[in-house]
Amino acid sequence: MKTFQCTCRQPLFFDNTECIKCGAKVGYDPSARVLCALRPAKRTGFWRLARDPRRPAREFRFCATREQSVRCNWLVPSEDGEELCLSCRLTRTIPILDRPKNASRLRDIESGKRRVLFALQNLGLPVAAKSESNPKGLLFDLLESLPGGPAVLTGHADGVITLNVAEADDDYREKFRENLGEPYRTVVGHLRHELAHYFWDVLVRDTDWLPRFREVFGSEETDYGAALRHHYAAGPPEDWRTRFISAYAASHPWEDWAESFAHYLHLRATLETVTSYRLNTAKVPLHIDAFTSDALYLQEPKESAEAFLGWVNAWVLLTAVLNEVARSMGQPDIYPFVMNGPVVTKLHFVHCLIQDHRPGKAEAPPASLAVPEAEGASQPSEG
């Protein structure tokens, strides 16, 4: 996430619909990926960004869900002729809103979805609604398990991500987290995991990356149903902590990919937020055994590989600090996982795949995310 500011210099946050200081209307332009104050355009019902370097300045409508339970603050370019913004157009089905909790559930899920889509846009990944003219697009079905009806299972199939809206309830998530022995369960985590399955279809299947995927993760042709049944019956292999980011990742190559892809999105989004807010971890009195080039999927190009290692090692340092902050508040660890060499290789695979989709120079970590050097360093461990 980035820092945003109103024309009155009041900080703006990603879900704001108005400035709490001056009262200006606020909106997010997904084409320019900026959140800012708005000013009325000459045409009634249209708005312009208060600071728009484009000439002529673009005009926008509010998303039709702005005044509804969703409270969406994304904007719709006037030339689109659409009532819904890019994010809301991706939602095909919503729960019955006059049933208990569903309005607030939908608002929380859509808020998380917009945040995840923002990060995907920054990575240059394709985000468009599935349709007859775009069969490889994406849709979301946000459903409730109704009394007497079938259970709604969160998952992905052929570009459609289904999410049980009860996942927005803290008590529901916690119950299933404990039942399944998961260290982490959030709406944003669900969205990133299921989007990983979608992007496997888009970026890996039927591409030159498929044989490379099999070298790193194993064959996706392994019987998926049988693998999950074995996982839930027998549990993960005893050494899973040395090869996977989570126990669930050990169940099947597809789930290993999905967990790795989701963690890559966790890493990038969090570090970009820290960088935007100029938090300086370079002076943290904590030292780690930094991962080296031995853990990379590819050694070349060298500049990109070194930049990736910089981000990963900054992540290990940052999450150790954030976990201590959470413990100081009596809260669970923000990041209850431990990196290992094979996991870094898989994360770098994801990184290389995304860079291949959008070739470009990899960013070097800013100085504020540098990892302090010291003798006797060690990577923070669980607990």
* pLDDT for the residue 319: 92
* pLDDT for the residue 376: 37
Share of the chain above pLDDT 90, in %: 69
pLDDT tens per residue, range 277-297: 888 877 788 888 889 999 999
Share of the chain above pLDDT 70, in %: 95
Structure tokens at 132: 């007859």
Res. 359 pLDDT band, cuts 50 70 90: low
- Cα–Cα distance list, 137 to 122, 142, 283 (Å): 18, 17, 44
Nearest to 338 by CA among 204, 205, 241, 271: 241
Dihedral sign, CA of 243, 244, 250, 253? negative
Res. 361 pLDDT band, cuts 50 70 90: low
Boundaries of every domain in the chain: 1-86, 90-197, 204-383
Mean pLDDT highest for which of 85-99, 288-302, 367-381?
A: 85-99
The more confidently predicted of residues 357 and 233 is 233
Res. 198 pLDDT band, cuts 50 70 90: very high
Structure tokens at 124: 């240059």
Dihedral sign, CA of 339, 340, 341, 342? negative
Res. 379 pLDDT band, cuts 50 70 90: very low
What would the 3-class secondary structure string for the chain be? Answer: CCCEECCCCCEECCCCCECCCCCCEEEEECCCCEEEEEEECCCCCCEEECCCCCCCCCCEEECCCCCCCCCCCEEEEHHHCCCCCHHHHCEEECCCCCCCCHHHHHHHHHHHHHHHHHHHHHCCCCCCECCCCCCCCEEEEEECCCCCCCCCCCEEECCEEEEEHHHHCHHHHHHHHHHCCCCCCCHHHHHHHHHHHHHHHHHCCCCCHHHHHHHHHCCCCCCHHHHHHHHHHHCCCCCHHHCCCCCHHHCCHHHHHHHHHHHHHHHHHHHHHHHHCCCCCCCCCCCCCCCCHHHCCCCCCHHHHHHHHHHHHHHHHHHHHHHHHHHHCCCCCCCCCCCCHHHHHHHHHHHHHHHHHCCCCCCCCCHHHCCCCCCCCCCCCCC
Stretch 123-147: mean pLDDT: 93
Residue 195 above 90 pLDDT? Answer: yes
* pLDDT for the residue 216: 97
The chain-wide mean pLDDT, for the chain, equals 90
Q: Which of 63-72, 107-116, 280-289, 354-363 has the lowest mean pLDDT?
A: 354-363
Q: How many residues does the chain have?
A: 383
Residue 273 above 50 pLDDT? Answer: yes
Q: Which of 103-112, 205-214, 283-292, 353-362 has the lowest mean pLDDT?
A: 353-362
* pLDDT for the residue 181: 79
Nearest to 313 by CA among 336, 334, 284: 284
